[in-house]
A and B are shown apart, each in its own frame.
Chain A
Amino acid sequence: MTAKRLRVFALLAISTIFLLAWAFPIIWSVLNSLKTDSDVLAYPPKLVFTPTLEAYRDVLFGSGSILPNLLSSVIISVGTTIVTMLMAVPAAYALARLRFRGKRFAGFYVLATQMLPPVGIIIPYFLVLRNIGWIDTYQGIILIYLSFSLPFAIWLLVSYFEDIPFEMEEAAYLDGASRLKTLWRIIIPQVRGGIAVTIVFVFLNAWNEFLFAVVLSGNTVRPVTVAMFNFVSVEQTLWAKLAAVSVLAMLPVVVLGVVAQKHIVKGLTVGAVKGGGRR
């Protein structure tokens, strides 16, 4: 049985290394955010130190506070999520449950829009927004975010809609309920879980987006992922503050990610497993 014990030990060692490798950069940022600059810069790196919330106090309430940027991120992400869901739920329902001419083409179109490289979209979009004065506005950013959030949300939702049995809406429909009423009263409650997962994904993607945000943001609308750069300059890096800002930018997505972990895996794999299984 020694061979087996050796195997178990090797397994344990490998898995520990991988878990550490994945978690370490995040843990290290959290630790650094609780240090003073001199502790961050200490060599060899300090694992034991007196924790302080000074960096957080400075980046939140000091001069050049990132509170407005956090607020921008929240407005953009929540706004994108609301607009996306309002459009994606009806569209996904139609694609999954209704019969109409051109349905295959419609589905293909949604899929194809996902393949456009973002840099190709942002160049013309920038020119148009500049002309109508929408650079540095919420509506400008939220609108362009639909380019990636809508196709994704529609496809994810279609996979959830397809799972509901047809009998339910059939019964409601034959009972004389209108199409819209059937959708609202019978179908939507059935896919509540799928809608929640989609909301999480759309929010995460909007919170994390960077390229569009960099091009379109200005002094009024500047999400935290872009504002983070203020803490790194050629002359000096504000180490502890940078760590604190990174942690604040990570916080919402990490919390959402861990809470919705099981569903996220399902959402991620829906395309992969389904797409593969179909052929």
Chain B
Amino acid sequence: MATTAVTSAEIASEAPRSDFGRVLAQRERRFAAALLAPAFLALLATTTFPLLFLIYTSAFRMDLAMPFTNGFVGFENYRTLLADERFWTSLLVSLVYTGSTVALQVIVGLALALLVMDMKRGQGWFRVIAILPVVLSPAVVGMIWRTFMLAPEFGIVDYLAINAGLGSKNWLGDPTLAMVSVIAIHTWQWTPFAFMVLLASLASLPEDIYEAARLDRASAWQRFRRITLPLLRPAIVMVIIMRTMVALTAFAAIFTVTAGGPGTATEILNLYAYRKSFTELSIGYGSALAVALLIVTIIISGILFAMRRAK
């Protein structure tokens, strides 16, 4: 959808009456269809078909451990879900997890980007180090944090806590601390992403506006509030959208660190659907939970995209 030049297709469409033009346009359509077909077939098979099948299975009782009880149940899974306290807890955990990690990533990422922007030297270090957490597997990240960083009386975090006079804490065994820990780990891994995007965006802002603002004796804070923030808004909103989608369906890090525990303290909706389906083997109910997650995702992304358009 670039705006440049005139293409053969456009020449063709300018002369729709001529046979030559029609043949060209038709050929272009066929060529496009041939190029798109493999990818679209694969996408249909791996995303659309599973989605339809998921909605279908959510109308069944499908228990791999007790197959003799299986059968069509209509909306029963959804009725169960609405009365299921564990579902509501996991939804709340999801929202707390997503909201706090995204907010932290944006705030810390933006603060750091502003800081690094002013640095004359050492920017390169930030760029290289920041890439590391982002490319690592969340499963490996989770494993490292669970063992070498957070293990009681052995991990570095506990060592620091003891030396700071806080005493040894059960970082992953206490419900509140476990939640704080998984939020911290997610924030640790993904703040560099927000940082890099916002830094790139900051670097692309026009310098002359700032010059003009300085001549008008605008303070640093005023320049930030009145110029930087509005200009960065599209990038910030985009980071929020991208990070929210990922945080809502985060899995590997929480799974490796706490597996949702202790109890259900860190069990986000995604993890609950997984546990129901693959640990407790009630696939039908697990499907209903996954559909619920999909609906939540659609609602939240709808709100976010509306935010993106609004001024």
Closest to B153 in A: A43
Q: Give the complex CA separation of A22 and B255 in angstroms.
A: 21
- From 146 to 183 in chain B, residues with beta carbon under 8 angstroms from any chain A beta carbon are 146-149, 153-154, 156, 159
On chain B, the residues within 8 Å of A271 by CB distance are 238, 242
A127 touching B283, Cβ below 8 Å: yes
B137 touching A210, Cβ below 8 Å: yes
| Highest count of chain B CB atoms <10 Å: which of A14, A28, A120, A143 | A120
B46 touching A277, Cβ below 8 Å: no
B270 touching A119, Cβ below 8 Å: yes
The answer to whether the Cβ of A124 comes within 8 Å of any Cβ in the partner chain is yes
Closest to A180 in B: B31
Closest to A130 in B: B64
The answer to whether the Cβ of B87 comes within 8 Å of any Cβ in the partner chain is no
Q: Give the complex CA separation of A242 and B9 in angstroms.
A: 58
- From 269 to 311 in chain B, residues with beta carbon under 8 angstroms from any chain A beta carbon are 270, 273-274, 277-278, 283, 286-287, 290-291, 293-294, 297-298, 301, 308-309
Cβ-defined partner of A166 (8 Å) among B6, B25, B28, B115: B6
On chain A, the residues within 8 Å of B286 by CB distance are 123
Cβ-defined partner of B54 (8 Å) among A24, A123, A232: A123
- From 238 to 252 in chain A, residues with beta carbon under 8 angstroms from any chain B beta carbon are 239, 242-243, 246, 249-250
Q: Give the complex CA separation of A273 and B6 in angstroms.
A: 26
Q: Give the complex CA separation of A65 and B29 in angstroms.
A: 53
Q: Give the complex CA separation of A211 and B47 in angstroms.
A: 16
The answer to whether the Cβ of B235 comes within 8 Å of any Cβ in the partner chain is yes
A100 touching B32, Cβ below 8 Å: yes
B36 touching A106, Cβ below 8 Å: yes
Would you give the shortest CB distance from B169 to chain A, in whole angstroms?
A: 16
Q: Give the complex CA separation of A221 and B129 in angstroms.
A: 32
Closest to A262 in B: B127
- Interface majority SS (helix, strand, loop, mixed), chain B: helix
Number of A residues contacting the other chain (C-beta, 8 Å)?
106
Q: Give the complex CA separation of A179 and B135 in angstroms.
A: 37
Q: Give the complex CA separation of A113 and B119 in angstroms.
A: 40
B46 touching A99, Cβ below 8 Å: no
The answer to whether the Cβ of B262 comes within 8 Å of any Cβ in the partner chain is no
On chain B, the residues within 8 Å of A253 by CB distance are 135-137
The answer to whether the Cβ of A71 comes within 8 Å of any Cβ in the partner chain is no
Q: Give the complex CA separation of A99 and B239 in angstroms.
A: 31
Q: Give the complex CA separation of A21 and B196 in angstroms.
A: 16
B115 touching A15, Cβ below 8 Å: yes
Cβ-defined partner of A150 (8 Å) among B13, B42, B159: B42
B196 touching A254, Cβ below 8 Å: no
Q: Give the complex CA separation of A183 and B109 in angstroms.
A: 40
Q: Give the complex CA separation of A11 and B156 in angstroms.
A: 25
A113 touching B5, Cβ below 8 Å: no
B238 touching A276, Cβ below 8 Å: yes
Cβ-defined partner of A99 (8 Å) among B28, B45, B201: B28
B43 touching A151, Cβ below 8 Å: yes
Would you give the shortest CB distance from B195 to chain A, in whole angstroms?
A: 9
A90 touching B36, Cβ below 8 Å: yes
On chain A, the residues within 8 Å of B39 by CB distance are 87-88, 90-91, 150, 154
The answer to whether the Cβ of A94 comes within 8 Å of any Cβ in the partner chain is yes
- From 11 to 34 in chain B, residues with beta carbon under 8 angstroms from any chain A beta carbon are 13, 25, 27-29, 31-34
Would you give the shortest CB distance from A123 to chain B, in whole angstroms?
A: 5
B35 touching A94, Cβ below 8 Å: yes
Cβ-defined partner of A258 (8 Å) among B131, B138, B140, B143: B131
* Stretch in B67-75, B207-215, B221-229, B246-254 with 4+ CB within 8 Å of A: B246-254
The answer to whether the Cβ of B197 comes within 8 Å of any Cβ in the partner chain is yes
On chain A, the residues within 8 Å of B219 by CB distance are none
Contacts known (A11-B118, A99-B28, A128-B53); A208 close to B48, Cβ less than 8 A: no
A120 touching B291, Cβ below 8 Å: yes
On chain B, the residues within 8 Å of A22 by CB distance are 129-130, 132-133, 188, 192
The 10 closest A-B pairs by CB, nearest first: A276-B234, A257-B135, A208-B137, A91-B39, A210-B252, A124-B53, A90-B35, A147-B46, A120-B290, A166-B5
Complex A-B: 22 CB contacts under 8 Å: A15-B116, A18-B112, A22-B188, A29-B148, A87-B39, A87-B42, A98-B28, A113-B47, A115-B298, A120-B287, A127-B57, A128-B53, A147-B43, A150-B39, A151-B47, A166-B6, A170-B6, A180-B31, A208-B137, A265-B131, A265-B196, A265-B200
Q: Which residues of A contact B (CB under 8 A)?
A: 11, 14-15, 18-19, 21-26, 28-29, 32, 41, 43-45, 86-88, 90-91, 93-101, 103, 106, 109-110, 113-121, 123-128, 143-144, 146-147, 150-151, 154, 162-163, 165-167, 170, 173-174, 179-180, 204, 207-208, 210-211, 214-215, 225-226, 228-229, 232, 237, 239, 242-243, 246, 249-250, 253-254, 256-258, 261-262, 264-266, 268-269, 271-273, 275-277, 279
